[in-house]
């Protein structure tokens, strides 16, 4: 990954994970769909399709929601969400 998220964003992402704010909607070989409950009333949708990430929050740059989901998808602790069987294909896609 070329531009690393700031330490502040990473810390916030870990906070989201430990608070159990990340929910897996769909997790497959070439796509993923997650919901992250941020500060807004409605959860943000975070999606990845063939390595391209998108979040519905207003942040222009990489946000804590994306970082949190990437941490989950890469299998890094702390894992507080239920993931099905790890998919090696997606793991390869998420090589960052």
Q: Which residues of the shown chain bind Zn ion in the complex (CB under 5 A)?
A: 44, 55, 57, 63, 65
Cβ distance to Zn ion smaller for residue 20 or 29: 20
The answer to whether the CB of 81 falls within 8 A of the CB of 22 is: yes
CA-CA distance, 96 to 94, in Å (whole number)? 6
> Hey, what are 63's tokens?
């946000």
Q: Which is nearer to Zn ion, 59 or 92 (CB)?
A: 59
Q: Indicate the residue among 68 and 90 with the shorter CB distance to Zn ion.
A: 68
Helix (H, G, I), strand (E, B) or coil at 14: helix
Q: In the complex, what is the shortest distance from the CB of residue 41 to Zn ion, in angstroms, rounded to a whole number?
A: 15
């Amino acid at each position: 990954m070329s531009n690393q998220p700031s330490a502040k964003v990473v810390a916030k992402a870990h906070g989201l994970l430990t608070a159990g704010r990340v929910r897996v909607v769909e997790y497959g070989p070439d796509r993923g769909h997650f919901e992250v409950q941020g500060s807004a009333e409605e959860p943000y949708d975070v999606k990845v399709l063939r390595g391209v990430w998108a979040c519905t929050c207003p942040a222009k740059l990489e946000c804590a929601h994306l970082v949190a989901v990437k941490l989950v998808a890469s299998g890094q602790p702390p894992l507080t969400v239920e993931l099905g069987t790890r998919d090696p294909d997606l793991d390869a896609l998420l090589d960052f």
